Chain A
Amino acid sequence: MNLREKAQIMDTAGMKRALTRIAHEIIERNKGVENVALVGIRRRGGPLAERLAKKIEEIEGIKVPVGILDITLYRDDLTTLAAYPQVHRTEVNFDVNEKVIVLVDDVLYTGRTVRAAMDALIDLGRPQCIQLAVLIDRGHRELPIKADFVGKNTPTSKLEIVTVMVEEYDGKDGVIIQEVVDE
């Protein structure tokens, strides 16, 4: 499969601004962050959750707990995937019971990942509520799921691929849209 970059929809600064705004919204919505914890969905939700926690600490002076969720074992498409997903560890080293959990992911698309993440989270305990923060909402939902905090709404075609890059894994920050081109 060949991919061609179509457009950049967020650069480093844009990503930073979006995350700052989301941090503010999380604080505002929950009237402070005393009972809030962030849980990033592997992989790129992880670093995004870390960055949000840092921003929140800058603003509120409170360190919120951060965890990482591996949702492989909860996927509903295991039997149809050709490539086998490697299972990684879930690292949520705090009690999720009665917490406000903000799930963090890079792109919200069909909603299936979020569904799996909610199931995985509930198996760890019973949060007071679960909220959802995403950097990009590209539409095309297949489940009744809606994000509470969105960095940017980006209408896309199903043939396009939205790629979020983070410094930690990709060496740089940014969001691009790619499309598949025939060989």
Chain B
Amino acid sequence: MRLLIKGGRVIDPANKVDKVLDILVENDKIVETGQNIYAEDCINIDAENKLVCPGFIDIHVHLREPGFEYKEDIYSGTRAAAAGGFTTICCMPNTEPVADNKSVISFIKEQARDKGVVNVLPIGAITKRQQGQELVEIAELFKVGCVALSDDGRPVVRADIMRYALEYAKMFSLPVLSHCEEPALSQDGQMNEGFYSTYYGLKGIPAAAEEIMVARDIILAKLTGAHVHICHVSARGSLELIRRAKEEGIKITCEVTPHHLTLTDEIVGSYDADTKVNPPLRSKEDVEVLINALSEGIIDCIASDHAPHHKEAKDCEYSAAAFGISGLETSVAVTMSLVHQGKIGLSDWVALNTIGPAQVLGLDKGTLNKGRAADITIIDPEMVKKVDPTKFYSKGKNTPFKGMEFKGWPWMTIRGGRIVFEDGKIKA
């Protein structure tokens, strides 16, 4: 089967390409990129006025399967990813049972192969049952195809365990994705600590709870020479630490989420639990610093931290509600608003969603090079749409963006040469 994507504005930051080109796909590979490609016996895709990009990659997704299929499963989660413009996602190990052994990882891979519509790359736990006490069998997880290690959802509190994990993971060049949170400082917290926690009377989570752990993990990365990736950076203090670590040549990378880039703690005043997320939505000052850091190269990628929940987990008292935002299907539109506002260049934005995350995990993805897997995301930059969670493919309808209007939405998602999402609908 052949696809000819015609007349789109091709943006391939890794190759510094930004011009109107055609792309020819044969079976699952990109075979030609150029002007006025002519080919017979192929499906023509008119991509005029669209942005044709390498397939978007989201390295921080909770697919919930196995164990929490009422929140999300691999079938629904990969469809949400395709609808959100992602061709590759990495799933976090906080499932039930925890993805801390070969059989769970193998199960996830099988489910993804049988039921999934995008590439699913599993992340293994750092410690057994994510208890923070004993390392998982890292070599085995590496062998079955884990692309990284993380206890995401909870921090590795013990510094000695984190140190050993880093040293051990380094043998396999596995990055360790760190959820940075000092639990003694964040305990019982519901939102960012600051003026608005005072104003709304909710227990605050100070930025220091994140910064302390970021500092510790930077120091441990320096000590061990291992690669630490800081998940969902939310506080400006953390960014400053990361900036300095990078200048020093320490192997540190980091991601930010769409919600931390666009929302502030002010919106918690609705007491709508869809605004409840960990790390919490921070202050206006934090958001400004995060946005500036996007174009300064301090932030390596955008990741959604897609955390779908069932209705009851959010439709309740604020402190009883679960943390998390269902983010796969809004990530592109939400972050593209920063492009429209002129706060970040289009090419930088595409890089943060493609070559950026690919480099963090050392994936052979994120470009439109000839011979590469035909993972392609096509975006309609002018499409205006309101976020309507009832139309989500994800089972998680929990989003603080509901009802908000955004310009620039995924129009087509091609994974391995097959169209999996087109014009609002999953094709699978």
Touch A–B, Cβ below 8 Å: no
